[in-house]
Copies of this chain bind each other. A is one copy, B any other.
Amino acid sequence: MIKVGIVGGTGYTGVELLRLLAVHPKVEVTLITSRAEAGKCVTELFPTLRGHYDDLYFSEPESHALGACDLVFFATPHGVAQAMMKEVLAAGVRAIDLSADFRIRDIEVWEKWYGQQHGCPELVAQAVYGLPEIHREQIKDAQLVACPGCYPTSIQLGFYPLLANDLIDPRSLIASSASGVSGAGKQAKVDLLMAEMGESFKTYAAGGHRHLPEIEQGLRDMQTPDAAEPELTFVPHLLPMIRGIHSTLFARLIENVDLQALFEDFYANEPFVDVLPQGVLPETRSVKSSNICRLAVLEPQSRGTVVVASVIDNLTKGASGQGIQNMNIMFGFDETMGLAAPALLP
């Protein structure tokens, strides 16, 4: 049993961690922090957890308590992990940051897109980007894992077999993605009200979403050394539903291959990537509550444009589930431990 702490556990990634860890056989959640809810029982804020965490109370984030953990998850808005990470790591604790604080290696790029100074640039280089399908080996020994964003996970896993094999023009990349509203977090904003979001669909941040530089950095990592820099046109949309991300990817093929066989082979040994049979297209509900990414690939009308459809649950494989997958790798547990339950249907 390892002792796990959660910093900032009042949001949707926090409660998703709690849901999944409640039945993880190797984990005890010993600490959860929240300045706003300090003193309140976890089950008071989240009645779904009654019977599971009846003795767990939100506390102020104090360093000695964090230091007693084997692992700390940061389920916080960006900026928070930067401020606390040095102390946590110095105490010998390992950390998985679900926020954007340590995902981007170029500090200037981070500062430009997030509009603030980076609070801990000296640790960025040692952070491992926690997409296990690409960086599994480094994750094993990492002290600090920067867990990918939800859009980036769905998009990178879709382009990976194509870019790694130099099959598409890297300057032709398009991602038309759509997210359920839980992706926007638990913020008291008029724009996120059900009366505003329900029964409607729209693009947002089409001129430039913060996940763009993270995705392009990740795509670069997949390419062969001589490939041209990837250029992605990324248009996110908001769906009138709660959980799930669907990314529809487009690129110009520069070589003719059996795409279905390529994808199936490429991901044959990945426990959390499922290439659907030819002709089957993924729906977001097929991964609801699960850590799976399901993919389909096709070339409509054989006109040289490849289309990939990729679905994940934004809170699971897109955040907390992937965080636990990283934890399993870091602590030598079976990678699927605690993540084996099938998706909820209907």
Contact = CB atoms under 8 A, between A and B. Distances in A.
Given A48-B343, A192-B193, A284-B202, A233 B303 contact: yes
Nearest to A239: B201
A186 B195 contact: yes
A288 interface: yes
A303 B231 contact: yes
A204 interface: yes
A206 B307 contact: yes
The 9 lowest CB-CB distance pairs between A and B, nearest first, are A202-B283, A200-B285, A176-B176, A48-B343, A194-B194, A194-B197, A48-B345, A195-B346, A182-B195
A301 interface: yes
A181 B202 contact: no
A167 to B, nearest CB: 17
A203 B248 contact: yes
Nearest to A52: B342
A201 to B, nearest CB: 5
A153 interface: no
Interface of A: 12, 15, 18-19, 22-23, 46-52, 174, 176, 178, 180-182, 184, 186-190, 192-204, 206-208, 212, 231, 233-235, 237, 239-244, 246, 248, 250, 274, 276, 279-290, 292, 294, 296, 298, 300-301, 303, 305, 307, 309, 311, 340-346
Given A51-B342, A184-B195, A207-B300, 16 more contacts: A12-B195, A23-B340, A48-B345, A49-B342, A176-B235, A194-B198, A199-B199, A201-B239, A206-B309, A234-B300, A235-B248, A235-B300, A240-B241, A242-B346, A289-B289, A289-B344
A276 B47 contact: yes
A198 B181 contact: yes
A296 to B, nearest CB: 8
A142 to B, nearest CB: 27
